[in-house]
Chains A and B, each alone.
Chain A
Amino acid sequence: MSYGSTIKVPFGPQHPALKEPEHFLFEVDGDTVVSVKPRIGYVYRGMEKAFELRTYHQNMYLAERICGICSHAHTTCYAQAVEELLGSEIPPRAKYIRVIIAELERLHSHSLWVGIAAHEVGFDTLFMYVWRDREAVMDLLEAISGNRVNYAMNTIGGVRRDLNDEAVQKIRGVLDRFEKNVKGYSEIIGKEQTFVKRTRGVGVLKPRDAVSLCAVGPTLRASGIKSDVRLDDPYAAYDEIPFNVITDDGCDVFGRTVVRCGEMLESINIIRHALDHMPGGKLKVSVSRTVPPNETVSRVEAPRGELMHYAKSNGTTKPERYRVRSPTLANLAAVCQTLVGVHLADIPIILAGIDPCFSCMDRLAFVDRRGGAWSCTAEELGGGRGQ
Chain B
Amino acid sequence: MSIAREASKRLFSKPSTLRYPFEKPTVPSGLRGIPVWSMENCILCILCQTTCPPAAIKMTPKGPDAGIEFRLDRCIFCGECADICPKKVITMSDRFELAGDDRSKMVYSYKKTLHIIPEEYCVRSD
In contact, B30 and A61 (Cβ under 8 angstroms): no
Known interface pairs A146-B31, A161-B30; A61-B76 also in contact (CB < 8 Å): yes
Task: Give the total of A residues in contact with B, Cβ under 8 Å.
Answer: 31
Contact B92–A146 (Cβ < 8 Å): yes
Residue A297 interfacial (CB < 8 Å): no
Given the contacts A132-B16, A146-B31, A160-B83, A188 and B2 also touching, CB distance less than 8 Å = yes
Residue of B nearest to A58 (CB): B53
In the assembled complex, the CB of B55 is this many whole angstroms from the nearest CB of chain A, namely 4
Main secondary structure of the interface of B (DSSP, over half): loop
B121 CB within 8 Å of chain A = no
Complex Cα gap A146–B30 (Å): 5
Please determine whether B7 and A125 come into contact, CB atoms closer than 8 angstroms: yes
Chain B, 8-63, CB within 8 A of any chain A CB? 10, 16, 28-32, 51, 53-55
A276 within 8 A of B: no
List A residues 122-162 near B (Cβ within 8 Å): 125-126, 129, 132, 139, 142-147, 150, 152, 160-161
Q: Mark B69-100, 1 if CB is under 8 A from A, else 0.
A: 00000101111100100000000100000000
Interface size on B, residues (CB 8 A): 24
| B51 partner residues in chain A, CB cutoff 8 A | 57
Main secondary structure of the interface of A (DSSP, over half): helix
Taking a contact as CB atoms under 8 Å apart, the answer to whether B3 and A126 are in contact is: yes
A125 to B3, Cβ gap below 8 A?
yes
CA gap between A61 and B53 in the complex, in Å: 7
> With A and B bound together, what is the CA distance between A385 and B54 in angstroms?
9
Q: Is the CB of B76 within 8 A of A184?
A: no
* Interface residue A382 (Cβ < 8 Å from any Cβ of B): yes
Residues of A within 8 A of B7 (CB): 125
Residue of B28, B55, B74 near A143 (CB, 8 A) is: B28
A142 and B31 contact, CB distance less than 8 A:
yes
Q: Which residues of B contact A62 (CB under 8 A)?
A: 53
Q: Is A54 an interface residue (CB 8 A)?
A: yes
- Min CB distance B100 to A, Å, is 17
| Residues in chain B near residue A54, CB distance under 8 A | 53
Q: Nearest-CB distance from A185 to chain B (Å)?
A: 10
Contacts of B2 in A (CB 8 A): 184, 187-188, 191
A143 to B30 CA separation, bound complex (whole angstroms)? 6
A232 within 8 A of B: no
| A192: interface (CB < 8 Å) | yes
Where the two chains meet, the residues of A that have a C-beta atom closer than 8 Å to any C-beta of B are 54, 57-58, 60-62, 65, 125-126, 129, 132, 139, 142-147, 150, 152, 160-161, 184, 187-188, 191-192, 381-382, 385-386
The 4 closest A-B pairs by CB, nearest first: A143-B28, A146-B32, A382-B55, A58-B53
New contact pairs (9) apart from A146-B28, A192-B3, CB-CB < 8 Å: A54-B53, A61-B54, A61-B76, A61-B80, A146-B92, A188-B6, A191-B1, A191-B2, A382-B55
Subset of 7 A-B contacts with CB under 8 Å:
A62-B53, A129-B10, A132-B16, A143-B30, A145-B30, A150-B76, A386-B55
